[in-house]
Every structure is written in C-alpha cells, then in structure tokens.
Amino acid sequence: MFLFLAAGIVQGQEQQSVPSFFDLAAPTLSAVSPSPSAGAKRVGESPWYGRIGAVGAIYHSSATFATAGTAIPDASAQVSNNKSLTLDVGYDITRNISTQLMLGIPPRPTITGQGSVAQLGELGAVRYGPGILTGLYRVKWRAFQPYVGPGVVYAIFLKDHDGSVSDLHVANNFGAVVQAGAEYKLAGRWSVFGDFKEVWLGVNAHGLIDGAIPVTAHVRLNPSLVSAGVKFRFGRVGGAPGS
C-alpha cells in the first residue's frame, strides 16, 4: 500500500514539472506571429511636386552698342518690367535637398534706347522663355520650410519684334541664378509659397538702324523674379520621403 502511494506522489510531481507541448510552443508562436502593424507598408509622400504661381520680373538692365566695330559712346538701353505665370516641377533628393525646374508663359519685354541713343525710342521687343534649374537646401520647421540654393538659367528667344532697329536678332544664352524662398504646408498635399530669384543674364543682339546701318549690342537683363503661388505634392508611394 505504501509503494502505491509513493508511486502516485512521484507521478504527480513529474506531471507538474514537465511542461506540455502547448506550453513550449506558445512563446515561439508568439515571437514569430506578426503584430497587426508589422506587415503594413510605410506610406509616405511622393518626392515629386509641382508649383504654379504669378511672377513679376524687375529688370536691372543696361547695354553697350557698337556700329561698324566702333562703340557708340554713352549708349545704353532699358528693358521693361513684366508679369507672367510660372510653373515649377521639383524632386526631393533627400529630406532636405531638392532640385527644381522653373518654366512659364514666355514674357515679352520691350527694349528702349537710353543715353545717346534715346532718340531712337523703342528699339524692339522679344518673346523669350527662360528655363531655370536650381538645387535647393530646405530647412523644415514643422509646417514652415525656408530654402535657398544656386542654379543656372537658359534663355530661349522665341520671337524678335522690330522697333527702330529692324531685322532684330537676339541670341540664346546661359546665366546664373540664386534662389531663396519659403513654403507653408497646408492640409493634405497642398502648400503655399513665396519665392525670390536673382538672375544674372546677358544677351547679344544685332540689327539695322534706318534699315542700312548695322548695329550690335550686348544687353544685360539681370532680372529679379518675385513669385507666389501654390504647391501640390503628387501621388503617394511606399517608403518615399515626406514633405
């Protein structure tokens, strides 16, 4: 009788000290089972964006003229200020660094003689399309995002309009740009922006005075471009940097 009781006690202790299969499997299954959010893909905003706005061009212009290879003393020119619409397309390379291309509706400034050629009045006008490519460094303070960076401009002259200078031709040319501005993020994908660009751009031109006297000119346009408008972030993609 004593032997049966001892065997029962030992068997009970073994059942308590040996864990069951489910006890062993539970921690392992818990470790490998994903949490509800573990398999979810992180969703961010696309690195591509577009901006549209109004721009004003304020020209700090001057010019030099020559005829028959001889400079015309005290001759200069003034380029009229104008307004247009601008369209920017940008790409965020990193969280703080982006590149941006500015295009827009080609403006039509007029060129008026100054100094010793002032009596010629309006020398002509041009329709040109400037393309501006800049690299920007952006600082993100919550919704407020100031930025600054250098760039290049290429001015394409689409049409020359004769004035007192006939057979007017203006050549395309490259220039330099410094850009600065700030954006303020609104709800969703929208932001508003204010922007300033200082452009250093000179062009060469030639034509005829009185229909017979050849004249050449180097015109410095050097516009300051002031713009404001709205920004839109394109479609969402997984893992892309947010704005």
**Domain definitions of the chain by residue range:** 2-32, 45-235
Q: Is the pTM of this model over 0.75?
A: yes
Query: Which whole-number Å values give the CA distances from 140 to 96, 148, 185, 242, in the listed order?
Result: 8, 12, 10, 11
Q: Position 184: which residue type? A: Y
**Among 171, 169, 213, which residue's Cα sits nearest to residue 67?**
213
| Integer Cα distance of 57 and 242 in angstroms | 32
| pLDDT for the residue numbered 53 | 98
Query: Which whole-number Å values give the CA distances from 145 to 47, 142, 186, 192, 195, in the listed order?
Result: 15, 7, 12, 10, 12
Architecture of domain 45-235 in this structure: Beta Barrel (2.40)
User: For residue 209, what are the contacts with CB-CB under 8 A and spacing of at least 6?
Assistant: 67, 120, 164, 165, 215
pLDDT, tens only, 95-146: 999 999 999 999 999 999 999 999 999 999 999 999 999 999 999 998 999 9
